[in-house]
Each structure stands twice: as C-alpha cells, then as structure tokens.
Amino acid sequence: MHLGPLHSRLAASFIAVSLLVVFHITLFSLDCALAAELEDAPPILLLDDVDSDLDVSQGSVSDLGSPLDQMYEPEFAAFDRSIIGRDQVRDTNTLINNEAFQLNVRQGDTERFVFKLSQLSERELQVASLELRDEEHTWEDQDEDEDEAKEDEKEEDNDDLSGKGLDRDSVDLNLASAEQKLGKRQQGARRLFLSANTCLQPQAFNATKTTQPPPQLTLYVSTSTDNVEPGPGADSNSQVSMVFNEGAIMYNFTTTTDVYVGVHAPNVAEIFDKPYNIKIAISTDGYYYSYNVDDDADLIWVDSDSQGALLITHNLTDSNDEKEQQRIMNTPPYVMFAQDKSDPSINGVKYSFCGLEQNAQIATTKDGKYSNMVQTGMTKRGQGNFPKQQFFFSGLKPSTSYLGILAKTNVTDTGSPNVVGGGGHVFKATNFQTKSGKLLSRNPGSSQVGTKAQELIQADHGNCNIVLNLTFCDQVAYSVPSNPNFGNASVLAKFYDDYAAEAYGYFKKALAQVACEAPVTQRYSLTRNCSDCEAAYKDWLCSVTIPRCEDFSNNASYLHPRAMSQPFPDGERLDNVTMSLYAENYGDGKVLGKAFLQSRSSRIDEFIKPGPYKEVLPCDYLCYRLVQSCPSSMGFGCPLPGQKGFNSSYYIKNETNGEVVCNYPGSAHIFSGSSKDAVSVGLTIVVLVLWRCWSFCELGRC
C-alpha cells in the first residue's frame, strides 16, 4: 500500500513513541512492577468517612509482596499517627492559653482536655526555642555549636565546588538530617504551666458522721500521640499522674507536641453526693492558678475584739520613690478569706482560690463582688511607714480560733483575668482568735482553764473594741477599753484621738519655749533636735493615753488589771472572792492599789466606763527615748525596772512567739518564724538592750 506524506509522518511518530515506551519499561522495570502490584490495594479512606479506627488486620504486610511497601505507611497525610490520635478525642475539651475552663467532673468519670501548640504564633514558638536553648546549654556550648555548624557549612561548600565525594545516598541522608533539625527548630519546644482548682466538692449524705472531706481529684498528663486519652486506665509509662493538694494542682513541663490532659474524679457515691466542679488552665508564661504554703505567711494578725479582727500585710515595697508608693496605694492587690477552724467547709480546698471563694465563711470577694463583712484598704502604718494592705473582719464569733488566708489575683487594665496568674495565688494561712469577753477564771495566777474554772463563767462582758484609721495617733490600730453604751467604733476612736491631740497641743506650747532653731552648738543636744522630741513624745503619748485592751479573763503574766472597782457595762461587778485573790497576788494581801482599781487615765473611767479589763502596758523604751530626745528642762523622767511604779506603767519588750507583750506604734502579733520580720525584730531587741543600758547611765544608774 502506498502511503502519502501525512501517513508517513504518522507512522514514523508511532514507531518513535513505541521505542521510547519500550526503553522506559526496560530502564524502570522495578518501579513499574511495584506500581502494578499496588493497583489492587484498597483505596485510601478519609478519616471523616469512618467512626472507628482503621482495622489493618484484614491486610497484612506480607500480602503486599515487598518490604519496600512499608515506605508508604508513615508519610501520607491521611495516615499520620497524630491525626489518627486526634480522631479518638472528638469530645475532648480544648484549652486556650491563659483562659480558664470550668466544668463538672462526675464521680468515677475522667474529663479530658487537649492543648494544641498550633494555636501559638510562630514568633512565640521561636522565642520558646531560644528560651529552651538558654536553659539547656551554656553560652560556651552555643559558641561551640555555632563553630561546628560553620565548619560543616564550609565542608559542604567545598564538596559542592569540587563535585567530589558526593553520592546519592549521602546527599539524601544529609538532606533528611537537615530537614529534621529544621523541623524541630521551626516547631520549637515550649515550657507549659498547667494548673487547676477544685471549686466545689461532693457533699456528704450525713455530715455528722462523715468528718473527712471527699478524696482529691487526680491529674493525668500525656504528650504522646499514642496516649491521647490519659487517665487511670491508660498506659502509665506514657503519662504523668499526680493528686490534687487541698483542691489545687500545679505542673510544668517542656514539650514539642500537643498536650493531652485528664482529670479523674474518684467514685465515692456511697458517702458523697453531687459532682466535683473544677477550673483548669494552661499557660505559656506561668501558672494561672498557684499556691505557696512553704514560705512564711504574708499576713500579720494585728489584734481582735470579741466580734472582729484586724490583719495587715507585710510591706508591699521598700522603695522610697513617692510615685511608686502612690501607685501601690491606689490599687489594693490582695483579697482575704476567714474561716472558723472548727468548720470543715473548706477542708479539701484550702489551696484553691475558687474553692475559698465558694466555701469560705467570710470572703473579701465572692464571684467578683466585695463582702460587707470585710473592710480593706491601704495604709502606711507600722514598720518602715511603707505601703501595706489591711483587712478588718466583722461579724465574727467570740472566743473562736480562725484561719486568715491571703490571696492575690492578677488582671489586666481592662479587668480581664486572661493573663498569667489571672486565676489567683493562695498564700499560707495565718492563725488568729477573737476575744471572749468572759470572766473564765477568778484565779489571776492560773493560765489553765479547767472544769472548776468553767463553773465560774459569768455573763459576756465584752469591753474591748478595735479602733483604727485615727487622724492624730495614726499608728494606733488595736483594741481599746470600750463600752457598748458609749457609742460605735468611730465615736470611740474620735474620743481617744481627740484626747491625745489635746494633750499634744499643750506639749507643743511648752516646746515652743525651746530654742529649736538655734545653731547646732547652742542647741540642747548635739545628737537630737526638736523634731526628734516631737516624734518621741507623740509615740509615747498615743501609747499611754490609748491603752491596748485585753479581756479581763486573760491571765497572761505581762498584762496589768485595770478598773477593777468599776462595774462591767452590764452593771455586774467583780465579787469579793475575785478581789481578794487579786489582792493576795498584786496587793499587800488585803487591799489593791489605785493602779488596779482605776484606769491609767481618769477620763476613761469618767466617760467610757469600760469596767474591769487588762492592759498591754507601753514598752519601756518609749519613755527612755522621750527622755533622750527632749530637753531636760521639760522635766521628763522614767521609772526604772525595780523602782516603784514601773510594773504598773511599762513592760520590757522581748522576743515572743506572736504575743504582743508591750504596746508600741504599729505593734502586731509577729511570730518568730516569720523570716520577713525576724531579722528586724532581733535587731530591735539588741538595740533596745544597748539603749536601755545607755539610758540607765544617763539617768545615773550605771
């Protein structure tokens, strides 16, 4: 058959293509065979098309006929292990950075959560990688790594230029290693802070028989895609477990993968009803919820009366910068909770911020709202005259021991809690107790109250009341002799403050006669001036004219009985047996002196009429400092220990474990275990001992 030009070209093209196909099949026969064998493989299933995990038991590896088939398993996206793992936790709760997640956990159940690193920005991951490098390597290690990397780069460049020493296997290996290192650097390792609080616990069916709180929750954490449902039934080698402590848990770790969390509630349905309620959060910056019960308490018990208590923080700053102090004074940073120690309602949640908010008897705030039982504000009263926060609790029960728990929250300027520490930090509890106002024992020498003494209990005679925020005596904040018939605490405070200010006015007139502005060489002292005299007189005056009051039933040896001849506010008087016992211990055996029968100031008995109480005497160093600081022409003098009048006027300050044995400006129940004040208290005692010796010399008693 004769072919035309067009047909000739078509035949030539067909022959050429056929030759190319034969050549291609011959050269790449292995790949073609592999592709042919895979034609009968089952189709790839999308995970959204099935409700259960893929069952690989139907087709074994041997069915595919070649060990090279395993190359296809790990790298295809549809079969990635992490995605298969995520499919197993469809109902898992997602945690967001610095955001609390609240939910109920039923008894016997495990609630699960996941935190995905993909929610973090690329820059956060890069910064995290650098932070982790700083933690794991020294700067010298980094320099060595950089030098090694530079040498590697030079060697690779030389290989590329020369074209020698390169084979396909080594190139593939180097590329794979480089890609692996790059992937790790891009992904970054992140330090995470996981924390949770128990807000509510199951309630006992029979509260009278069940004295213990329900058992604590358990936290499980996994960073393995092989364990995306951590809990009591999962592999313990692929998870970390820890039990909550008093309703709180904190755990930090470093990871390069998503985090899977489980919170398990024990099943105690036979004894307790209702579920647990928790708040859980994770943060890349620090704990959202936290507590610290190892350090000393940041809260100081100042004083109490039969129905209230005053507590104050340590100095919130030691800076003398006025702007910094004013900034702190404008924003009280703390909240506080108070709990009767005999009430078990916070047992099991003492370290949980939301648990205290929901369960404490008295809370500064509850659900963000301030309580009317707590008054809080800022003050510079006390040690150093630096900013502090004070709390005054009212509505307390007489003669009751309480726990005072300080806590702190961190919120943004807009009021949002979605920041590090936004859930709250709980500090170590401080113990305090209210005054009883009862005459528990007629024996002034007894410190024990037994059955016989209990029979002598009389009606409530609460006649000590806390006053604070005075205008003139601004360092005064403690219980003073009172009478419910005189008026409330504000009226009482004004009475004492006005009395002290009036006396100070007379002093100022006398001091005006002194040449305070004369040249240094012509003044009354080379080391003191009139400003020192004014300050010393004010401290002494406020401590003397405003007595610190304790129950008459308190038998501490450092207390001095006052106004024993006066009736209590309800009209009752001390009986003859009590008066005789005190006369034997403090008098001549028959009669008590005026220092016991009356108050220090007759004005107190005349206007307030508190009745019998006991006074915390002023510290003796206040009087000595007054004598040393003021001109001798003013005639100030102090009784010395052993002299007549000293035991009824002053008491020597010494270190005690939380007791206020003598009254001084800013006095409070500072326990010897408090590291923040132990040094200053110890130095004060040393200085006072040296000062007292010097004072005795000045007064002619060396």
Pair 356, 405: CB distance under 8 Å? yes
372, 503: one domain: no
pLDDT of residue 409: 84
354, 329: one domain: yes
227, 364: one domain: no
| Separation CA 9–CA 14 (nearest Å) | 9
CATH of the domain at 421: 2.60.40.10
Residue 665 lies in a domain: no
Residue 505 lies in a domain: yes
For residue 325, count other CB atoms closer than 10 A to its CB. 18
249, 325: one domain: no
220, 112: one domain: yes
283, 301: one domain: no
pLDDT of residue 287: 96
264, 376: one domain: no
Last residue of a domain, one of 646, 672, 689: 646
For residue 203, give the H/E element and its range.
strand 203-204
Structural domains of the chain, count: 3
Closest Cα partner for 318 from 270, 386, 377, 373?
386
pLDDT in tens, 500-559: 999 999 999 999 999 998 888 888 998 899 999 999 999 999 999 999 999 998 999 999
562, 469: one domain: yes
Residue 48 lies in a domain: no
Residue 306 lies in a domain: yes
pLDDT of residue 533: 96
pLDDT in tens, 554-595: 999 999 999 999 999 888 999 999 998 899 888 767 788 899
Residue 35 lies in a domain: no
pLDDT of residue 367: 67
| Separation CA 132–CA 333 (nearest Å) | 32
Closest Cα partner for 693 from 637, 617, 621?
621
pLDDT of residue 462: 78
Q: What is the CA radius of gyration of the chain?
A: 40
pLDDT of residue 26: 56
Pair 59, 40: CB distance under 8 Å? no
Low-confidence ranges of the chain (pLDDT < 50): 30-90, 123, 127-146, 149-150, 153-171, 173-175, 178-179, 181-186, 439-459, 672-702
pLDDT of residue 207: 84
pLDDT of residue 22: 60
pLDDT of residue 162: 41
Closest Cα partner for 430 from 294, 293, 291, 299?
299
Burial class (CB in 10 A: 0-12, 13-18, 19+), 508: exposed
Residue 178 lies in a domain: no
pLDDT of residue 368: 65
pTM tops 0.85 = no
596, 528: one domain: yes
272, 319: one domain: no
* Residues 451-467 as b or e (16 or more Cβ within 10 Å = b): eebeebebebbbbbbbb
The residue segments making up the domain with residue 494 are 462-646
Last residue of a domain, one of 254, 287, 320: 287
249, 343: one domain: no
297: CB partners within 8 A, 6+ apart: 406, 427, 428, 429, 430, 674
Last residue of a domain, one of 287, 320, 336: 287
pLDDT of residue 639: 93
Closest Cα partner for 417 from 408, 429, 409, 427?
409
pLDDT of residue 59: 38
CATH of the domain at 193: 2.60.120.380
Residue 123 lies in a domain: no
Residue 20 lies in a domain: no
Q: Which two tokens stand for residue 266?
A: 């024990």
Q: Which two tokens stand for residue 19?
A: 């030759």
492, 608: one domain: yes
